[in-house]
Chain A
């Protein structure tokens, strides 16, 4: 008889792995409430909610959050448009060099961020583009496109080519075919890809350090805050906020894709 239950050591190992991944996150939450502001003492000498108030009152935090949200939203938008177009082009037709193009599209996410960052900085210099919102968005779009593309291309491949032909045959032009046939069939894939792209953009550090000008996105702000020995728990308060903002869309994307495979 073969048991389909996991053995005890395997369970313990799995539990250990999960704890290793997630217990540090609990410390982030814990130190958001500590009364000690210069170093992280364990156990915390006391608990307080005052850092939430302090964080709420600091304009630099609001600026960083605002910038991060704007960047993430715009980079995701760019990625949705371009990623969908690439996916449509690569999934629907066979042409010479298709595999190479597909690889080139995916490459930015495999490439170390630092390489992408240096490359983009060099390119922006060459084109004499000033560092700012635009350059940050372009930097983020490089990897956001990949996420959207990967989600969309899988769906496009499953979409029968004759659906598009049927739509055209029935009198719909290209735009109507996209609006009424293609979009409804790839919408959930785009939503999942878009959410993932948003989350990736929101906590990106490396590429941003190379492409940002004077502004700080939220992760950059946190990085600079850590080296300062004042009001440390404020960083933790913001970290808690980031965890929530990043986690919720990923959770939603997970449920959206899961729900769909459950339909079949």
Chain B
């Protein structure tokens, strides 16, 4: 092959459910071996996109290619993709080993060989010794690993993960995030990861697509999504950035556009504003200590605007509600965005 086709390509893909446009003209390309996240609130179309790739659903219009092959009319069982379901969807009547071996079994792989491969896959997800248990006898985290092994044993070229960590508690989630990422690097399989958790998307992905109302609002590496949000929606959804109206940004000497401003970019001033910073007086409404950082909620004087401010915990020890402060806003931290979407 002279030209490497993308693992997944969407061309103007739309999926309507009656009057609802669940997916509305989505174009995207996912590279082979890429960890690609689809991030968005519930109902934003990300899961529908995943189901379109898996073949559980067909686009109303547009085209989907998987490694350069048009997927229209190709049933799920003939696609080189496998899915890890949100509810795991383990077969309750089979033990763990047979669950994992299922994909090989239906392809006619002999019992000895498929059990050996299933055992390998279970070892890969660190569940080697649980093969003879039934899914009900496993914890949520273990079921998650079985679902992962069951998909991976088929050596898919694209692995689809539908909010796979959603049902796990925080500690387990963080462990699985690290493991998933390590696994993905090791296997070199393209992962398409659907989540509504921005932290998860940012920490694991090579690229993130932010979905809203059936459309992709922005695609890019995590840093870009976080630091240079294209719209107000992205700024607010991906990590609680402050959004300054155009008038306020202009008043500070910044661009004449709505701007995002990260809470940690704002400083507290004790003297006059240094070069490149604009001063803004405000009153503290709430102060919270978070260990590594101190988070303040401040009301800007003379404007109906509240800002979140994050400062190192060592600073501002005695600050509390009602106190007046002066904020130092670096003009370089004002990132101009498009309209409200």
Spell out A's residues near B (CB within 8 Å).
Answer: 160, 162-163, 165-173, 176, 180-181, 184-185
Contacts and interface: CB of A to CB of B under 8 A. Distances in A.
A218 B102 CA distance: 48
B82 interface: yes
B186 interface: no
Nearest to A187: B93
Chain A binding surface, main DSSP class: helix
A166 B107 contact: no
Interface of B: 54-56, 75-77, 81-83, 85-87, 89-93, 102-103, 105-107, 150-151, 154
A165 B76 contact: yes
Taking each of A163, A168, A172, which has the highest tally of chain B beta carbons within 10 Å of its own beta carbon? A168
B85 A162 contact: yes
Nearest to B160: A169
Contacts of A160: 87, 89
A167 B55 CA distance: 13
Contacts, number: 67
Contacts of B102: 167, 170, 172, 180
B247 to A, nearest CB: 49
A172 B91 CA distance: 13
Given A168-B77, A169-B151, A172-B102, 18 more contacts: A160-B87, A163-B91, A165-B89, A167-B91, A167-B102, A167-B106, A168-B75, A168-B76, A169-B82, A170-B103, A170-B154, A171-B77, A172-B103, A172-B106, A173-B77, A180-B91, A180-B106, A181-B91
Nearest to B162: A162
B145 to A, nearest CB: 15
A86 B56 CA distance: 22
A173 B86 CA distance: 22
Contacts of B150: 166, 170
A165 B93 contact: no
Nearest to A179: B106
Nearest to B153: A170
A169 B76 contact: yes
